[in-house]
Structure 1
Amino acid sequence: MSDLMEDGMEFRGGTLQLSTENNGENSESRVRGATQSHNKIKTPISVNPSVLSGADSLSSSASSFADARQSTSNNDNAEQPQTVYPRYDVPFDKENIKDFFTFRKGVVENAIQECITALLFPEDGEYLGSWLLTEITLWDNEKERIVLITSRLVMIIKYDFIAMKQMDFRKTYLDDLDTVVIGELVYPPSSLVPERNLRGVRMMWNKGEPLPLKTLWNPFSQEVPFITFASHPIYWHREGNVEERSTFDMETFAQKLQWAIENMPSSACCIHHSPIVIQSYLGIASLLHNKTSMGFFKVRGKFSF
């Protein structure tokens, strides 16, 4: 019996010793994990601190720009494919997207080349890039727009992709911009509009002043001091290389816009990475407008408009 008790005690002692070592290792790994987690959480919070405080409007850099659709973890396996971030809702389906005139091969490229040739002049600055994006108006309506960037301005063009002709355009000079916001498109807490689950970029030149009532309640007003863009629906359905898809990508447009602003010595524009609030509370008209894609040129049964 004494031998058995001695064996048992030795066995339990060995078990206790092993358990203690494991606990030490687990505690040490937990400390390392917590430190790493703290560092990971801390990094995005410290993005562009001087820009957000207004101390230095040009201190943000391309390295601080994070595409939320891709994993931002540095420890992810490099062999894993880049996937669309889950919070993004893919607009339309593959069959519906084929009705868009801009989905046809060469249509967008020809329209952009025509606009560059006809609308850009040497005094507009150096040409930097072109995109087909979705403009989101003050009243939350989506509209298809060609966007050109030069070293001096952003040009927004309304283009008829059926008749293949330019209809209207407006210029926004980079010198006039006081704020650019890049982030998630959100609605006020009291809004009944479903979440968009989409990112966008907003260019502003109102110097922080609220909109006057005559502008706020006029859906046809041309005096709205900001413009909001999101990626074109084709971005999620276009097959091809990254360069071809980037024509429809808001993220690459925002990167180029940020670069252009930072390379203008006279610019005092602040760049913020934060949610973009769309002031829509009920939004029945805009929901119907966007659901039927009325702001896009497409085939609609026997008609095209």
Structure 2
Amino acid sequence: MSTDRERTLGLIAALGAFGIWGLAPLYFKLLGTVRADEIIAHRVIWSMLLLAAVLAVRERRRFFIHIRVRPRVLLALAISSVLIAANWLTFVYAINSDRVLSTSLGYFINPLVSVLLGLLVFRETLSRLQVLAVLLAAAGTAWMTLRVGQFPWIALILAFSFALYGLVRKKTDVGPLVGLFWETLLMTPVALLWLFWLSRQGMLAFDPAHVPEATLLAGTGLITLVPLVLFAAAVRRLNLGTIGLMQYLAPSMTFVLAVFLFDEPFTPDHATTFGLIWTGLLLFTWAGWRHYRRGRALSRGTA
């Protein structure tokens, strides 16, 4: 397959992945009458079943060999499962409580949190522009807290939980599908027990007789798996610089949904907060892109 065709397929896959993530609030808004914890329990169970089916079809007789992981890896996946569960629960809670703008803010902050973790954990060095970018994001967060009078806990939980999740997965030697399968499998007993408890309390929304709602709850597995598969396909075909630029598509779409479709308040103080963070992201992206181009030029010069 030609390089141009591979790149085109990669761009399509990336647009599909980030597009689904960006439009996800529309899907979860349809489940607005269902508790966030029940939605996450269903998301865990249906994702696990779907992943098991996909891996079984793809690997066939090698299924059990393919999903086998070492105890140390399993422990790391147990930690990452807690982090991604916290991220999912906070995200759905924010949508169901009409705070979609906070999710957009969180995922705009996320790349800068990842940079900070790279500095602290992997001793990665930052350029002056990248340091300035992180400081601007911190200033935006402080402005939201002081001026709006509300600590942006939803945005920060989303940003830090996903950044920490990425950190754990980066240090864990396992593929994306197998890793997510084990994460959801480890969470499944808790999810089942929680649904059982909700049923005993008469608070369970899931009812197979109510087809639309039951279908939407089961569909949370697809919402989880499809963008992940598309993202994995995009990463194989595109350079990280392109992926890095495109990752802002999802929170940008969520921002538009929050302000223009869901009519969430967007005050001058919100504009200042987002403006500081967007400026930081532009500086960070420019610094990363410049470093990437310099590296490519050097590699061509030594080839």
TM-score tier (shorter):
under 0.3
Larger helix proportion of the pair: 2
Q: TM-score, normalised by structure 2?
A: 0.22
Question: Which of 1 and 2 has greater Rg?
Answer: 1
* Bigger relative contact order (CA 8 A; separation at least 6): 2
